[in-house]
Every structure is written in C-alpha cells, then in structure tokens.
Amino acid sequence: MSCITLFVVSWSIPITKPLVAPDRLRFDFDKQARTIKQVKEGEEIVQSIVETHEPVYAKRAPLPRACEIAGLKAMLSDENYPDAVGVLCVGTPVEELIANPKRGTGLKTIVEFCGGTSMGTVWWIIFDFVDNVGLIGHMVILSEEAKKPWAKEHRILALSRAEAVRGTHRAEKLAV
C-alpha cells in the first residue's frame, strides 16, 4: 500500500479548501484532471482499505523522529511542520513506528502527517471521524472536475457511509 495516492492525486500535491464532514469530503488540488479510470481506481483503493477494518491510530510525535518513519507520506520540502506533528497510521500504532522507524512497517500501510498550512490530506480528513477504517462503510467519488473551465485547479467531491450508499442507489435508479 505504499503507493496509495490521494484518490490518485499525487502525494506531493497540496490540497486546499477541504470540507471535513463524517459523511462527505471535498478538496481542491492544482494538478491536471484525472481520467475516469484513475478516479475509479482511487475509489477502489479506498474501498479496499475500508474493507480491511484496520484500526486507525493518531498521535503527536517529535518532528525529527517522525520524519524517520519508513513509508511516511509528507510534504517535507513544502510545508512548515511544528516541533510535534500529528502522525496518522492505519493498522499500526504510531508508538511502534516511532520506536522503530526504519523497520519498514510504514511501507505496508498508510502513514502520514497531519498538519502544515495547506495540507489536510484526504486520509486524515476521512479517518479523523473513525477509529477503524471499516466504520467508513462505503465510499464513492461523485465528481472530479475543473473548478472553472480555464483554471488549473480541480475539485474532488466524495461521499462516505450512509450518504455514499444513498448516492449509489440513486445513481443506479437513474441509470435504468
């Protein structure tokens, strides 16, 4: 899972204007549009993680030590992080990663920082509301599109939990 991306948006791309809610999310990114295939793959990646029902761990850790975690996803060159940074991990307690950062456990899961001025990654946004990824239930990406026809900035809208199920059922009815 070390190659998981933010719904197939590069890890190194900052996101802006995130909407943080238990049943939906929205974020903007400054990158070329994703293809329908890439959006679908992003949806499938998230759903495969949700189906693991892994616990979600979040803890503050000293920045220098946290930066040593193998597999860490962070924007170290673009962001100014505080001395103690929030670390999020799916499936492995943050304390284990901090105690043995070079072991490689982080290469097999999602490990990333929460923080910085413009980065509030999608994973943190979603997992901020659950202590187990299975509680997200279903996740569906509603749209990925340019905010304005001439702009480079794009927006992703997604639903999770019961809202995603309702949205999927509604789309199926409209398709008939």
Is 74 part of a structural domain of the chain? yes
Q: Tell me what pLDDT residue 65 has.
A: 93
Extract the residue ranges of the chain whose pLDDT is less than 50: 1-12, 116-127
**CB neighbour list of residue 157: distance below 8 Å, 6 or more residues apart:** 24, 25, 26, 141, 142, 143, 144
Is 8 part of a structural domain of the chain? no
Number of domains in the chain: 1
**139 and 46 in contact (C-beta within 8 Å)?**
yes
Residue 153: alpha-carbon gap to chain centroid: 18
Q: How far apart are the first and last CA of the chain?
A: 36
pLDDT tens digit string along 14-29? 666 667 677 877 777 7
Q: Tell me what pLDDT residue 77 has.
A: 58
**CATH number for position 103:** 3.30.980.10
Give the count of beta carbons closer than 10 Å to the beta carbon of residue 49.
23
Q: Which domain holds residue 131?
A: 15-175
Alpha-carbon distance values, 105 to 14, 51, 84, 131 (Å) = 25, 20, 21, 19
Is 71 part of a structural domain of the chain? yes
Residues paired with residue 16 on neighbouring β-strands, in sequence order: 28
Give the count of beta carbons closer than 10 Å to the beta carbon of residue 144.
21
Is 4 part of a structural domain of the chain? no
- The C-alpha atoms of residue 23 and residue 129 are separated, in whole angstroms, by 9
Q: Tell me what pLDDT residue 12 has.
A: 47
